Every structure is written in structure tokens, then in C-alpha cells.
Structure 1
Amino acid sequence: MEITVEEFSDLLDNKYIIVEAFREHSKASEKYIDVTFVQKDGYSWKGSIPYFYRRTGLFIETANDLVDYLNEIYPHFTKTEIKKFQAAEKKRWNDEMSGKKTTKGFFDNLLDLDWKSVKYDLPNNPNWARRIQDIKEFGYTLATDTRRQVNGKYETDTHILLVPLPKGGVTGYEVMSPAFKAKAIAVMESINVYECSKANKHGLLPDHKFPEIRWDEETRAENPDKMPEKEIKEKFQLVDNQRNQQKREVCRKCFQTGKRGTLYGINFFYEGNENWPNDIPKIGKNAEKGCVGCGWYDIQKWRESLNQFIEENK
């Protein structure tokens, strides 16, 4: 969205919404507009509104659409609506989430709707990012500022803000039991598909061919221990943790740029080309069609297709 704050404010034409900046959190594939919502009774809320936020399937790419979105959500930021949000979510976490004590500590801290420094304000936890991700997966909208100044200190820190928008659907990682993982490794014969070898069997992971960054709440599914072998082979491939992380980064870059990744630096796709298809959605089950043909999506099929191409073009 190539537009200045001044140009966008003119387009917005709403004196009750004050725009301060556009920001991007590239690691999380999130984009924000920093705003102040001023109500006619004088009450105001100041914070960051995500407009590119895959957890709730929000992908706004034009200034006009963002104008419409800000006007649509504006009524949620009155003093009355914010108090309703806080009361309802406090009750929800006390009634339904009391068993999630660690994550609840983070949520309770965020519920006053102020920016929270990870270092100074949130509970001391080495795995704080997992707790924040849990809250996102429960359907809440969180904003992140990785370089916000800490109150009263001459330093910056990552800050998290709970945005009082209606809770969306629950998303998250698929469930994979130790028994299922062992079965999947056995079904795929302990072959590291990246290396095309059984030499390094230790640390193999059943990797989802369809990357998590493109899932929505409809995509998540259980992985029962009795999953048929055919289905396991359709959904998973075996890689080590290093390649799993590498694929995650390649898929994230593809999600952000619309340019599909290459395997071993070889610009070959067994379907399509390096560009994400224009007629395929970015997120949800139908997005998987856009992954087909990429080497990272199905390494073995990519390898077989490349060998066939070489043989036919000798």
C-alpha cells in the first residue's frame, strides 16, 4: 500500500480518526496502522490496528478498503464498548480458561488494553512468544511493536497490545501425538526427503506439506493415531528440524511477497511458475492449490518431475 499518512488522511475524511503511521512486523507477516479513535463524547483510544493479519484472515491491500475497515470498526472503540469487551473477556477466561494458568497470566496482564513491555510488564517467561501466539490462536487481535520505548526508561523493547475487537475463531497448530509422529516416520520409511536418504534418521519430523502460515480456522484438523497411511503420505513429508525451519522461512517470504521459493536454488516448478497464482486465495484450504508445483511443498514429487524433465530434454 504505497500511500503517505497525509494522503491517506485526506482519503479517510473522518476527523474522528487520527492517523499517525503505517508499520510492518515482517517476521509475523503483520501490517498495522497507528491511529487514535476519538469519540464524540471526548473519549479516545490510541493504538495500532492490524490490517494484514493472517490469524483472523484479514488482508487489506488498498487504501480505500482500509478506509472502509477503519470506519467499520470505529464503533467498537467507545468507552462503553471497551468496558463490555473487558468484562466479557475477563469472565470468559475465568470460566473457560482457568486451566491455562500460564497463558491466562499473560492475558490478564494485557486486558487493561495498554502497551506491555515484554521485558518489564509481562510475566517473566522464557517462552513468552508461545504464550502470545496462544492468545492469537484463541482468536484475539494483538498488535506488536518491536521497537517501542519503555515507559520511564531510555531503551526500547518489544511491546504487545490487546486490541478490543470481537474475538474471532480459534486457530492453531494441528495436534500430533508421539504415537502419530512415530507412525508417520515409519510409514515414510525414515527417509529424509530433502537428502533423499535414510542416513540421518535422528531428529526427523513429519512436516506439513501445506504450510501453517496459510491456514485458517477451517484448515486445522486433528491427526488421529489411526490416520490411514495414504493420507499420511498425502499430508506430510519427513525432514529434519533445520530444513523444517528453512521451509517455514521460505513459505513466510512467499506469503509476504507472492514469489514462490526455490529448492537448491533451482528455478523449476512442476506446476506454475515463481509467482503465486492470482486466482488462488492467500489463506485457507483452497490456498493449498497455490503451493502445488513448488519444490518445498512436495520435495519428492518435485525431484521426480525434475528428473523426468531432464530425461525428456536430453
Structure 2
Amino acid sequence: MEITIEKFSKLLDNEYISIEGFREHSKASEKYIDITFIQKDGYRWIGSIPYFYRRTGLFIETEDDLVKYLNEIYPYFNEAGIEKFKASEKKRWDKEMSGKKTTKGFFEELLDLEWKSVKYDLPNNPNWARRIQDIKEFGYTLATDTRRKVKGKDETDTHILLVPLPKGGVTGYEVMSSAFKAKVTSVMKSINVYEVSKANKHGLLPDHKFPEIRWDKETRSENSDEMPEKEIKEKFQLIDNQRNQQKREVCRKCFQTGKRGILYGINFFYEGNENWDNNIAKVGKEAEKGCIGCGWYDIQKWRESLNKFLEDNN
């Protein structure tokens, strides 16, 4: 369901909240409302508020819920509160994040809470997107505008904005040691499950069957080097980096559209069909039930199921 500015404007009854419009960052599966929070003393905060933001488990889909959410967060955007946020987060990074020098440089640039051009304002780094993702994974709310005009220049660029909402806790990827990766590769006998081949086995990656885009902060866990083989086989499969990226895009599209992925161009699902079951949660551990039956979720089981289907219907 898409939230419309017309319907939303009729429901919004706070004269101190002014809206400009809605935007979507499709690659990151994020949605924003461009907004101005006006305090009674005249102080204004102008920026973008995410309302569909999987890093903090925020998935608002109705105008009523968005109105409620904006009224709830409005008190954070007063001058004193924002200055307190800047001071406390600077102290946190100086104390707790001093070892993360590269990412710290990005965070310090964002901490004035102004839109920052990736090209002109942020540190020069070819992997800047990874640094921004790190900051999100540390629990911070960031807004992205991929077509914002650069100040003083006749061009647009991707801009990032740090939003002064409470830190939501570290969410990131599951921890995986080198020893654990080697163990997974050994358990899976160095076989690329996509190709059923041991060729280029040194480029294989342990792939989470349950895609990260549907995780919430409760889904993340530590991968112990002592994890039993049975659990490894339930949780992981081995594919190369190219297929890992391909699967990531397929799962992102499924998350956004509700259409599950097609493997090898074959429209076959060993459970369910191409449509995501709307009775199943979109994120969190329960969402994994919606992945079962898709070829990308468990390639080997999908292959075995398809072969059995062909055999039974020969």
C-alpha cells in the first residue's frame, strides 16, 4: 500500500509539522517523508524522516500510522535535544569507536546533521557505501537522497543525512570468523551449490539461506566455530560472490514487490508459489517461513524437489 500526500495531509493535525513530499530509495528498500519540524520557539529542523527502514525494523504502511509516528518523534527535534544528541554521540565515538578510524571520519562529517554530498563533503573513499552501511548497522538513522542538488554547483549527487533519533542498537551482519568460513566450506565439501561444481572453490562464500534484507535486530546471532554440522547445513549454502550478489538483488526485489525469485528461469516452487504469503511477517525470524519453497532460499532442496516432481510426472 502506498501512502499518498493527499490522504496523509488530511489526517495530519499538527500545525508544527510541515511536509514537502514522499521519496523512495529503492535500492536500499527505504521510504522517506521530506519534512520540517517547527518548534514553538521558532526553531526548525528540515530534513527527511525514514518511515520504511528495515535497519530499525520500521515498516509504516498507512497514513494513520505515519501521522502517529511523526507526532511521537516530534519532541526529539528541538534545539536543546539536537545539541544533546550531537554532544553525546561525539563522546560515544571518541570513547567507543576510536578504533574505527575510517568510519569515524564519515560519522564526524555527518554529525552536524546537514546533508552531505558523497562526492564533495564526505571523505574520499571508493567504498563509501560500506562506511554508510556500517553507521546504519551501529544503530543510527540515516536518510539518503540520490538526486539532491550540490550546494554552489550546477549538478546533483547522492547526499546522506544523519537524523537525530535515538541510537537503535547494533544490528549488522552475523559474525563469521575465518575458521568458521573454512568449516562451512569443509562441511559443504567445497561444492558450489548453484553449479554443483568444485571449480573455483577458493571463491566460494557461506551464504545465509535466510536473506539479510528480512532480518531484524533479533535475528542476528554469533556463528560459533563449534556450530554443529547439522545446524550449518540448515543455515548456509555455498555459492560464489557473483551468485551471492545476484541472490541479494532477487531477495531485495521480493521484499519490495512480494514476488518471489525464479531460479534458472524455471517457475517452480516446492512450497507455495511466486507470491509472498501475506499472512507471513515481512521481517524477523517468522519471515523465514515465507522463503521456504523458493529456489534461491535452498538451491539444493529446490533441485532435489524439482527432480522428484519430474520423476513422479514422467
For the superposition of Structure 1 and Structure 2, which TM-score range results when normalised by the shorter chain? over 0.9
SS at match of 1:51: strand
Q: Deviations over 1:264-292 (max 9, x none)?
A: 11111111111212222111111111111
Cα distance in 2 between the residues matched to 1:6 and 1:36: 17
Change (3 A) 1:187 1:2: closer
Asked if the contact 1:31/1:50 (under 8 Å) is kept, the reply is yes
Whether the aligned pair in 2 keeps the contact of 1:142 and 1:161 (CA below 8 Å) is: yes
The answer on 1:60 being equivalent to 2:60 is yes
Residue matched to 1:76 = 76
Task: Report the CA distance between 1:7 and its aligned residue.
Answer: 3.4
> In the superposition, relative to structure 1, how do residues 273 and 113 fare at CA in structure 2: closer, same or farther (>3 Å)?
same
Q: Is the 8 A contact 2:174 2:220 kept in 1?
A: yes
Q: Secondary structure, in 3 states, of the residue corresponding to 1:102? A: helix
Q: CA deviation at 1:192?
A: 1.1
Asked if 2 retains the 8 angstrom alpha-carbon contact of 1:32 and 1:50, the reply is yes
CA deviation digits over 1:170-210, x for unaligned, max 9?
A: 11111222222122111111111111222442411111101
Q: Which residue of 2 aligns with 1:312?
A: 312
Q: Is contact 1:9–1:18 with CA below 8 Å preserved after alignment?
A: no
* Residue aligned with 2:162, SS: strand
Give the aligned partner of residue 161 of structure 1: 161
The 5 A counterparts of 1:158-197 are 158-197=158-197
Q: Return 295-304 or 87-96, whichever deviates more.
A: 87-96
Q: What are the residue-to-residue correspondences of 1:1-314 with 2, within 5 Å?
A: 1-314=1-314
Task: Note the C-alpha offset of 1:21.
Answer: 1.1
- Which whole-Å deviations, capped at 9, do the CAs of 1:211-233 have from their partners, x for residues lacking one? 11111221111222222111111
Stretch of structure 1 that moved more, 123-132 or 152-161:
123-132
After TM superposition, give the deviation of residue 313 of structure 1 in Å.
1.6
Instruction: Tell me, yes or no, if the aligned pair for 1:280 and 1:287 is still in contact at 8 Å.
Output: yes
AA of the residue aligned to 1:152: G
Alignment check: 8 A CA contact 1:32 1:49 kept: yes
8 Å contact 1:29–1:53 — kept in the other structure? yes
Per mean C-alpha deviation after superposition, the further-off stretch among 40-49 and 271-280 is 271-280
Q: Secondary structure at the match of 1:15?
A: coil
Taking only aligned residues, the RMSD between alpha carbons, in angstroms, comes to 1.2
**Cα contact 2:38–2:45 (8 A) shared by 1:** yes
Amino acid at match of 1:33: I
Structure 1 unaligned regions, length at least 5:
none
Letter of the 1:223 partner, please give it. Answer: N
Q: Distance in 1 between matches of 2:175 and 2:95?
A: 24
In structure 1, give the amino acid aligned to 2:222.
Answer: E
The sequence identity of aligned pairs, in percent, is: 83
**Would the aligned equivalents of 1:106 and 1:131 in 2 still touch at CA under 8 Å?**
yes
Q: CA deviation at 1:3?
A: 4.7
Q: Secondary structure at the match of 1:174?
A: coil
What per-residue deviation string (whole Å, max 9, x for no partner) do you get for residues 58-109 of structure 1? 0001111111111111111111111111111111111211111111111111
Question: Mean Cα displacement is larger for which, 80-89 or 37-46?
Answer: 80-89
Give, in whole Å, the separation in 2 of the partners of 1:242 and 1:154.
37
Give per-residue Cα distances to partners, 1:139-198, cap 9 Å, x unaligned.
Answer: 000000011000000011110000001110211111222222122111111111111222
Using the size of structure 2 for normalisation, the TM-score is 0.97
Could you say what secondary structure the match of 1:207 adopts? Answer: strand
Q: In 1, are the aligned partners of 2:2 and 2:61 still within 8 Å (CA)?
A: no
Describe the SS at the equivalent of 2:218. Answer: coil
